[in-house]
Amino acid sequence: MNGVTSGTLAILLAVAAASSETSALADEARPNVLLLCVDDLRPELACFGKSYIHSPHIDRLAEAGRAFHRHYVQAPTCGASRYTLLTGRYGGAGNGALFDRAKRIARDAAAVPPSMPAWFRMHGYTTVSVGKVSHHPGGRGGKDWDSDQDLEMPHSWDRHLLPAGPWQHPRGAMHGLANGEIRVKAGEMALFQSVDGPDSIYPDGLIVDESLRQLESLAKGARDDQPFFLAVGIIRPHLPFGAPARYMAPYRETRLPPIPHPQKPSGRTTWHRSGEFMKYQRWNRDPNQDSQFATEVRKHYAACVTYADAQVGRVLAKLDELGVRENTIVVLWGDHGWHLGEHAIWGKHALFEESLRSPLIIRYSGIPAPGKPSDAIVETLDILPTLCELANLPRPEFVQGVSLAPILREPSAPGHHAFSYGRGRTIRTETHRLILHRDGFVELYDHTSADKETRNVAASHDDLVAALKGELLNRLP
């Protein structure tokens, strides 16, 4: 539990008061919030057009809400992407972004805007996190990510939990395989695995077990006018790709579509050697050279997606069972995309479409045109102001995104350009992606052409390059 001294809370409340509108909030106008974060989940879901994927629970969520088919993250890596989700602001490109923020809070709390859960907490919500919501599951640092003296998000959560079970500690659970196996040397741990047993033989089963217990407690408070903000962080389909065997069964005989543009780019790009993926035990096989092995990898990723979908389903079913669905906003968010062989990459970290596009679904009672998706370009940066508007909370002045409420009301409403960073900076428009390298080199891709992000057309579009580069540098100096 993250304790807050009266002095520190007074400082944070002063920050909130200085940066918010001054509207009174009626208790009955404050819906609960359920935030579902799924690690390394690209839009590999039936409701996002991948008919060969079994994702019935997320599909039903999309049918009752609004799926954003062109949602882009701010960074193609867990820590920096989650920084933006949880603060509503651009942040560092590394996985330590939230810990860096915590150090700034320790030096001068009043100088650091509150996080999303802190904002809700200041406005009367009980805030609870279970699993991988910030970068470290459980939100702590130290050797095994379990030190109460090293919090990733100070002053944010009433409870920030990670049930490690047989995986010993949060670090073990993060990269755990079946029945308590933890990663000691990646080269000795199987890249993928499918073992018979219940959901609890992998870490996400325990994460959701605890989430259901927390939800039961929070629902009682919600009925007594104590709204909750519950964040549940599901680890799969993060590497290694391990899921109970029954989730692999639907894919054993499935014929997957060909990998689009599977060749390594010939020109200069943000391509990389898939180091995170390649360091696992691959039995001396390379999916870029072995099509059968590539198919096996893709099927095990799919099995992990279906396992994660089942965990989402358990949480949503409990929400219904407890009778709090109608007064709960649900957000499902993938923290970034993931290449499954496109551009000969297996992983994230590049600035291609596959690394930056991830699923976003928002559901709330009374949403107009439920089930109709949006093709508007939106960003993770937009989630905090959206939730504030839906929950009738003041919009913090420190947020850098915009509310998606107009698109929730009318799915054909326009979006806006998306900005991301990592191995450079990039802007995504309706028709193009421009990538600006640190030394000034430019990639420009035309998404209206069949070539998509396989042919750099920057040399023949000087005016467009100059305009997009200017917009990008204005947003991300």
* Residue tagged active-site, from 54, 135, 136, 175: 135
DSSP 424: E
Active site residue 437: no
Active site residue 54: no
Integer Cα distance of 122 and 346 in angstroms: 41
Tokens representing 175 are 């990269």
- Asked if residues 72 and 351 have their Cβ atoms less than 8 Å apart, the reply is no
- Asked if residues 338 and 355 have their Cβ atoms less than 8 Å apart, the reply is yes
- Asked if residues 432 and 445 have their Cβ atoms less than 8 Å apart, the reply is yes
For 52-83, the DSSP string reads TS--HHHHHHHHHSEEEEEEE-S-SSHHHHHH
Helix (H) or strand (E) holding 276: helix 275-278
Other CB atoms closer than 10 Å to residue 320's CB: what's the count? 11
The residue written with tokens 């998404």 in the block is: 447
Supply angle C-alpha 477, 342, 301, rounded to 5. Answer: 105
* Residue tagged active-site, from 78, 123, 339, 349: 78
Q: Is 448 helix (H, G, I), strand (E, B) or coil?
A: coil
Integer Cα distance of 472 and 440 in angstroms: 12
Active-site positions read: 78, 135
